Homo-oligomer: A and B are copies of this chain.
Amino acid sequence: MIVYERAVKFEEVDAANIVFFARFATYAHEAMEHFFDPLDGGYAGLIMTRRIGLPAVHVEMSFSAPLHYGDRLRIETSVTKVGNRSAVLHYRMVRHADGALAADVRHTVVTTDLRLLSSCDMPADVRALLTSHMEGP
């Protein structure tokens, strides 16, 4: 499990005064970028230099407590499945002040050659990092 923390920003709420639900998918991606920091060149290097990406094929988000401006968010990222070309990342997004679960997100990605926009074998360093953060049984 990798932990990533960040504050809710001023413009991330909506007209109901809570964090807009689509932002949680952005938060998930942000946590994934952080998860892949140990790669040589980080996630940006994977995308920009090696031209391999991890587009989503499936996302499930469950929301259980709202976030407001001023809240701090703790995202715990782990991995529930690693296949030949795909993986499932799992993000527990917790409201820092009281530990309430704000959102639970599952994110299935496929290693993709960005030049062709078609799936490709998972690079060894990507696989190693994912495998080392598999959730226990």
Contact = CB atoms under 8 A, between A and B. Distances in A.
Given A16-B53, A59-B60, A66 B117 contact: yes
Nearest to A70: B44
Nearest to A112: B16
Interface string A48-75: 1000010111111111101011100000
B56 A58 contact: no
A126 interface: no
A40 interface: no
Instruction: Count the copies.
Output: 4
Q: What is the interface of chain A mostly: helix, strand, loop, or mixed?
A: mixed
Interface string A1-28: 0000001011101111110111101101
11 contacts: A10-B16, A10-B29, A10-B47, A11-B14, A13-B15, A16-B55, A17-B114, A25-B25, A58-B60, A59-B60, A60-B60
